[in-house]
Amino acid sequence: MLVEVIGSKKELENVKPFYVEHLLWGTKFVPKTYGYLGFVLNEGFCLEMVCEEKEPLRTYENVLDPVYRDSAMEAFFQFEPENGGRKTAVYLNFEVNANGALLAAYGSGRTYRTYFSKEELDMFECTAWVEEERWGFSLYIPIQILENVYGSLKLGRGSRFTCNFYKISESREIEHYASCFPIRSKIPSFHMPEYFGEARIREDGNEDTQSLYSPHARADIKERKDYQEGLFMKIYKAADYKEMSRKAANIIASQVMLKPDCVLGLATGSTPIGTYERLVSQYKEGDLDFSGVKTVNLDEYKGLPRTNDQSYYYFMHENLFDKVNIDPANTNLPDGMEPDSDRECEKYEKLIRSLGGVDLQLLGLGHNGHIGFNEPADAFDKETHCVDLQESTIEANKRFFASADDVPKQAYTMGIGTIMRAKKILVVVSGEDKADIVAKAFFGPVTPAVPASILQMHGDVTLVADAAALSKIPE
């Protein structure tokens, strides 16, 4: 995340928010939670967090009380000291309920933490407020206290640190957990600095909004946001295909761990193979369980039997389904041998709706901008349909067949509307030959002539691409 330089805490209202929306450890619902973080040069950080929660549980009133047993919001920070300072294993936690009771400490683990003194707690200037529909708190974190913990930090423009933000209640009646940056651990705990996300203090007023989002990858990410329209696109830059596959697999794995009975929309083609290989590896290592997962595939060739080694049914079993513990009854693809196109499309569309829609949809990107088999056209097709494949698509796919003549000329595919109803969308792209279409799809005008451009209008899209594929996007 990018931290704006501000003149005072009053300027926080001009800072773009971060969101606490990753549900953890079986949590089904968390009230909308977000926050604002700014940095005052030579002074410290200003933080405000807001939760749209009516009548929050607030029994504790004193500093250092266990406010996490109420309804609470939390902020954790970890800084890199100058040479000779305290090791970076040390991190700080700030936990606040709607009464403004502040629990604040530092240390290298969940236990044996050092609590701040009364004088230090007063310096944080923690205040809380409650309205009819929401509550929140503000917190000032002075550099002076940070350097008491770490030694010299020399915080300023361009400085980097790691952090995470949380919504919690350990009360049995309303128990819930959520984080800003995802946590992949099966053990419920916010005290995991390995899952903090990287933040950077803006260097100058003209700098593009960029950050390092993944605490494991430490790779470039560009963010495109329109908060008025609620649009959000994350673009992860990977060094190569292998790294792209690993990052994409981690995103899917997080979805499976956070919601074990999730519905995954899956793609085929050469690009996702590496992603599926990583998911299989994580399953074999005991980190993933697919037993409750349901899947729906984007498309299938019309006229190919499932026994044909070029059918997408065959592809999915060869690359994923037969290598993990997913229930075959929970895997779904269009029936390519159904001659009645209208019947099969209607049937598949009803199936997707009966599952409650797609939680995470994986997509590749064709050279002409197609997603699934939604080819360039005069309008966006809304629902599952049968499509005539364009010559460019046939040409791209002929490498999988004996000749271009053997490539099917039609396919069943989810429509653009079906894809756009997915709660989250993940796009994977690799190779310099995709650079032009990546730039058009994600930075050009929204047009059915470039089907993937519609993804700019989705509220939660992540593009993971290697450096070659991103080589022509705007700086």
Question: Considering the domain 221-466 in this protein, what is its CATH number?
Answer: 3.40.50.1360
Structure tokens that stand for 265 in this block: 């929309």
Query: Helix, strand, coil proportions of the chain in percent (round to 5)?
Result: 25, 30, 45
Given the residues 4, 74, 243, 370, the one annotated as active site: 370
Sequence spans of domains, the chain: 2-207, 221-466
Tell me how far apart the alpha carbons of residues 470 and 467 are, in angstroms, rounded to a whole number: 5
Q: How far does CA 325 lie from the centroid of its chain?
A: 24
pLDDT at residue number 82? 63
56, 85, 101, 357 from 272: Cα distances, Å: 44, 44, 48, 21
Which 3 state secondary structure label does DSSP give 4? Answer: strand
The one-character DSSP state at 432 is G
- Asked if 74 is an active-site residue, the reply is no
Q: CB-based burial of residue 364 (10 Å sphere; 0-12 exposed, 13-18 middle, 19+ buried)?
A: buried
pLDDT at residue number 315? 95
Tell me how far apart the alpha carbons of residues 428 and 464 are, in angstroms, rounded to a whole number: 5
Given the residues 53, 95, 299, 381, the one annotated as active site: 299
The beta-strand segments (E) located in 150-293 are: 160-169, 176-179, 197-201, 210-211, 221-226, 231-238, 263-266
Given the residues 375, 385, 397, 458, the one annotated as active site: 375
**Does the domain made of 2-207 have the CATH classification 3.40.605.10?**
no
Tell me how far apart the alpha carbons of residues 212 and 223 are, in angstroms, rounded to a whole number: 10
Contacts of 100 (CB under 8 A, 6+ apart): 126, 127, 128, 137
pLDDT at residue number 83? 55
In this structure, the strands spanning 72-78 and 91-97 are antiparallel
- Asked if 216 is an active-site residue, the reply is no
CB 24 within 8 A of CB 190: no
Contacts of 393 (CB under 8 A, 6+ apart): 366, 368, 370, 373, 375
Which 3 state secondary structure label does DSSP give 275? Answer: helix
Dump the DSSP string for 343-399: HHHHHHHHHHHHTTS-SEEEE---TTS-BTTB-S-SS---S-EEEEPPHHHHHHHGG
Contacts of 460 (CB under 8 A, 6+ apart): 232, 423, 424, 425
Tell me how far apart the alpha carbons of residues 364 and 430 are, in angstroms, rounded to a whole number: 9
Other CB atoms within 10 Å distance of the CB of residue 111:
7
Given the residues 250, 368, 374, 397, the one annotated as active site: 368
- Asked if 340 is an active-site residue, the reply is no
Instruction: Report pTM.
Output: 0.55
- Asked if 368 is an active-site residue, the reply is yes
The count of residues in the chain is 475
Q: CB-based burial of residue 276 (10 Å sphere; 0-12 exposed, 13-18 middle, 19+ buried)?
A: buried
Task: Give me the average pLDDT of each 10-residue run along the chain (475 residues).
Answer: 88 87 91 94 95 94 90 94 59 96 91 88 94 94 92 89 95 92 86 89 55 32 44 81 94 91 95 96 94 96 89 95 97 94 94 94 94 87 86 75 79 92 94 95 90 88 94 85
Tell me how far apart the alpha carbons of residues 57 and 51 are, in angstroms, rounded to a whole number: 12
Structure tokens that stand for 350 in this block: 């009803």
Matching residue, tokens 């915080």? 155
Nearest of 360, 334, 310, 314 to residue 415 by alpha carbon: 334
Tell me how far apart the alpha carbons of residues 315 and 237 are, in angstroms, rounded to a whole number: 27
Structure tokens that stand for 266 in this block: 């899956």
In this structure, the strands spanning 231-238 and 294-297 are unpaired
